[in-house]
Structures are given as structure tokens and as C-alpha cells.
Amino acid sequence: MALNSFLIALALVVLVQGASFGQDERVRYDNYSVYKVKFETSEQRSLLKKLVEDREKFRLWQEAQDELHLMISPSAFDELETVIRKTNSSAKLFISNVQELIDLEEEANIKATRDGSFGWTKYNSLAEIYAWLDEILVAYPVITESFILGQSYEGRTIRGIKISYKSNNPGVFIESNIHAREWVTSATATWLINEFLTSTDEFVRDLAQNHDWYIVPVLNVDGFAYSHEKDRMWRKTRQPSDISSCVGVDPNRNYDSHWMENDGASSDPCAEDYGGPNPFSEPEVQALADFVSSNKEKINVLLAFHSYSQLLLSPYGHTKEEFPPNFDDMMEVAKAYGDAVESLPYGTVYRYGSSAGILYPASGSTIDWAYNEQGVEISYTIEFRDTGRYGFILPPVHIIPNAEEALVGIVALLDKCEELGYLELK
């Protein structure tokens, strides 16, 4: 009897959690595949987007003007096929088993951890990143300074590092890993910190020494920890909702600037782009905003690191009907970044434009808030590698090439900013 009720309880737990939870309580994505779906009309788009309302079967990975990247569960293939046929759109498989990529990544991480704890041949955990930051701060006490943005919902500390070789430098703020699963962003941010402190290359030295750097390697610390420990595909924060059993807010929709306008965010707590119950509902977002607003006279340029798609996105995110006053300058700056990246032997191509113009309306993002509300006139989202072959699960061999691209891109971007007069002290 006791055993019976135990088995029933066990069966219930399995049912409630779904088949995707394995024994180690990580969400598994066995035989989940990712398709690029091309469409032409907005009717096709909305029919396709309706699919992701069923989060058990469909998850949106990426969205562009004429293309959606959909992750689908093994049981959802027929449904996808039906909608593809009905909407006359076309789908191309580019990842056949998401779990396989996650397992390969995990193996590489474990192997690299055995050879030493921190580095750029693997993806580091939050604890590893913070331990490394402490080492850096001890090794470079004059040039570096630790700062704390605040505490996350779950009580983790959100840390940043300031690098300053001299006074009266223009300031560059880098926000990284606001989206939990975009691991290459914090890997790139830490690599840049290391280069700024250790490189002997003349152009890196100039870059490092002639700007003040404010770098937050992981903003969404709770989501990041969760993506390492439980669900590799987690995007949002980890604060529960009052009105739903779904957890988390899209922090890049939670800033108080044109919040929730123009379908630029969802009001559904279960959606990946949920804007939150109110602007700044997320402590991580509020913490970043407090820091930037109290240091805004020192910040000339703000860069928000994301992945993936290889894009440079300027404001506005909330509307494609209007463009910011210095849009032409921002496009010149973006072109400089893209040209510099493309000139490397890798030949990687970045496209650029305004967020709403070349992607989709996204309101309440970091860069729009910094630009609209804080007067940071050069404010960019950079979507790193790749364009979908691996998506968020970019193999660690890409970390250094991606970071090198970011470095030469940022050099060119700041040169252009200087030329256009954006690096004057405020």
C-alpha cells in the first residue's frame, strides 16, 4: 500500500515535471530540433508565432524580419509541418538534436576545468568568473576597481570592474549576459578585460589606456546560474510572477523607456519577452539603471552584448516609424565595426540597422533606455556569433575568435566615435 502510493506519487511528479527533466534534475532537450522558418507576410508570421504559445512543444530562439528560428520538441514535428504547409512558408533544419550540442559543450567545459579553472576554451560559471575577477583586482590594484551594481532577486551580487589608466578618459559601459543563455557574451567580456590589462599589442594598449571601462560581465546572475545548473536554454530573470506559475521577466524589456509600447514586449508572464508587471520590476535591471544614471556624465558609449545573429542594433527599439536624431552617425559607427570585423581572416559578416528597423519592435531595452532617458548618444546592442548553426550553444572554440572580432570592432567603433565628436568629456 505504502509502496503503491509512493509509485503513484512518483508517477505524478514525472507527469507534472514532464519528460524533459532527467535524474540530475536538469532540463533535457533530447531530439529537440531547431528550424529556420522563412516567411513573407505578417499573416504567416503571426500564424507561426502562435505556435510558440505552446511552450512545451515550441520555443522561439530567434526572430528576424523574414525568418524565425524555432526549437521544437520531437513530438511537435507534424504540427510544424502542417503550419508550414498551410502558411506556404519554408523550413530548414539546422540543429537536429539540441541535447547533443549541450552534452558536447558540457564535456568540453569539464575537460577544460580539469586543466585549470578559468579560461576561454570553455564557458565559466558565475563562481569561476567572480573568483577570476578577484584575482585580477589583486593583480592590478592601481588600474582596476571593483564595483557592485546591487543584488539579484535570489540575492546574488551583481559585480562590475572599472579599468582606468588615467584621468579624463571618455567612458565605455559594457553590459553583458542580460540574457542568461547567451554565454558567449560573458566569455567575451572577460576576455576583453584580460586583454585590456595584459596585451602588449600597441593598438590594444591605446584602446585600453585611452578609455575608462565599466564592464559588467554577468548582469542576469540568477538566470545565468540557472542556465548552468538547470536549464541551458533559460533567457529571463528568476523572479516568480504574482499572476502566473511561470517564472521570470525578459530583463531587456523591463527598462522604463517606452515600456510595453507597440507590441515591443509581451504581457504574458510565460512569454520569453515578458515585459514584467511594471518597469524596473526586476532588481537586476533597476541596479544597472541606478549605476548608469549616477555615472551618466562619465559614460559616452554603452554596449550591450547579446547573441546570436551577428548584428549591430541601434535605437530605436520601440518604433520603426521614427529614427533617432543622430541615426546617420550611428550607422557610420556600426559600419566601421562591421568593416573591421570583416577584414579579419575569419571574414565574419555583421549587419546593422535600428532594432525595430531590421529586427522587430523591442521596447524597454537597455540601449533604448540609455539613449532615450540618459543621454548616452552612442548606444548599441551587439549580437555576436553565429547566425544559427549552433545558435546559443556556440562551441567554446568560437569564444576567442568571437572576442577578437569584438575587440577590433570596438577599436573601429570608438575611432569613428572620436572622429564624429562623441568622445568629448561631458
Residue 310 binds ligand 0X9 (CB under 6 A): no
> Smallest distance from the beta carbon of 88 to Zn ion, in angstroms?
30
Residue 368 binds ligand 0X9 (CB under 6 A): yes
> Smallest distance from the beta carbon of 341 to ligand 0X9, in angstroms?
18
CB-side neighbour CA atoms (13 Å) of 84: 17
Which cell goes with 92?
530548414
Among 70, 247, 313, 334, binds ligand 0X9 (CB under 6 A): 313
> Smallest distance from the beta carbon of 49 to Zn ion, in angstroms?
18
| Binding pattern for the stretch 339-358 against ligand 0X9, x by CB under 6 A and - elsewhere | ----------------x---
Helix pair 399-419, 202-209: axis angle to 10 deg:
60
> Smallest distance from the beta carbon of 21 to ligand 0X9, in angstroms?
25
- Distance separating alpha carbons of residues 254 and 360, to the nearest angstrom: 16
Reply yes or no: is the peptide bond before residue 308 cis, omega within 30 of 0: yes
For ligand 0X9, the nearest residue by Cβ is 317
- Distance separating alpha carbons of residues 369 and 241, to the nearest angstrom: 24
How big is the CA angle at 47 (ends 45 and 49), to the nearest 5 degrees? Answer: 65
Q: 10 Å Cβ neighbour count for 79?
A: 15
- Distance separating alpha carbons of residues 163 and 189, to the nearest angstrom: 13
Place of cell 533567457: 235
What is the 8-class DSSP label of residue 423?
A: -
> Smallest distance from the beta carbon of 389 to ligand 0X9, in angstroms?
16
> Smallest distance from the beta carbon of 211 to ligand 0X9, in angstroms?
22
- Distance separating alpha carbons of residues 412 and 390, to the nearest angstrom: 27
Contacts to ligand 0X9 from residues 375-414, by CB under 6 A = 381, 383
Task: Select 105 or 273, whichever has its Cβ closest to Zn ion.
Answer: 273
Residue 186 binds ligand 0X9 (CB under 6 A): no
Which one of the spans 154-162, 286-294, 344-352, 365-373 is the region binding ligand 0X9 (CB under 6 A)? 365-373
Burial class (CB in 10 A: 0-12, 13-18, 19+), 289: buried
Which cell goes with 201?
599589442
| 192, 403 contact by CB (below 8 A) | yes
Active centre residues (catalytic)? 383
- Distance separating alpha carbons of residues 324 and 142, to the nearest angstrom: 39
Which one of the spans 112-120, 136-144, 150-158, 364-372 is the region binding ligand 0X9 (CB under 6 A)? 364-372
Which among Zn ion, ligand 0X9, none contacts residue 62 (Cβ within 5 to 8 A by kind)?
Answer: ligand 0X9
Which among Zn ion, ligand 0X9, none contacts residue 126 (Cβ within 5 to 8 A by kind)?
Answer: none
Which one of the spans 144-152, 289-297, 360-368, 404-412 is the region binding ligand 0X9 (CB under 6 A)? 360-368
What sections of 41-162 are H helices per DSSP?
A: 42-51, 77-87, 98-114, 126-139
64 backbone dihedrals φ, ψ, rounded to 5°: -135, -175
Task: Select 105 or 250, whichever has its Cβ closest to ligand 0X9.
Answer: 250
Which among ligand 0X9, Zn ion, none contacts residue 355 (Cβ within 5 to 8 A by kind)?
Answer: ligand 0X9
Residue 252 binds ligand 0X9 (CB under 6 A): yes
Which among ligand 0X9, Zn ion, none contacts residue 258 (Cβ within 5 to 8 A by kind)?
Answer: Zn ion
Radius of gyration of the chain (CA): 21
Which among Zn ion, ligand 0X9, none contacts residue 313 (Cβ within 5 to 8 A by kind)?
Answer: ligand 0X9
Which cell goes with 99?
541535447
> Smallest distance from the beta carbon of 181 to ligand 0X9, in angstroms?
9
> Smallest distance from the beta carbon of 10 to ligand 0X9, in angstroms?
37
| Binding pattern for the stretch 136-165 against ligand 0X9, x by CB under 6 A and - elsewhere | ------------------------------
**With contacts defined by CB under 6 A, how many residues of the chain interact with ligand 0X9?**
14
Which cell goes with 269?
508572464
| Binding pattern for the stretch 42-81 against ligand 0X9, x by CB under 6 A and - elsewhere | --------------------x-------------------
Which among ligand 0X9, Zn ion, none contacts residue 394 (Cβ within 5 to 8 A by kind)?
Answer: none
Query: Which chain residues interact with Zn ion by CB under 5 A?
Result: 179, 182, 258, 306
| 93, 388 contact by CB (below 8 A) | no
Which cell goes with 71?
526549437
Which cell goes with 157?
551580487
What sections of 119-171 are H helices per DSSP?
A: 126-139
Reply yes or no: is the peptide bond before residue 226 cis, omega within 30 of 0: no
Q: Which residues bind ligand 0X9 (CB under 6 A)?
A: 62, 179, 182, 252, 306, 313, 317, 355, 362, 365, 367-368, 381, 383
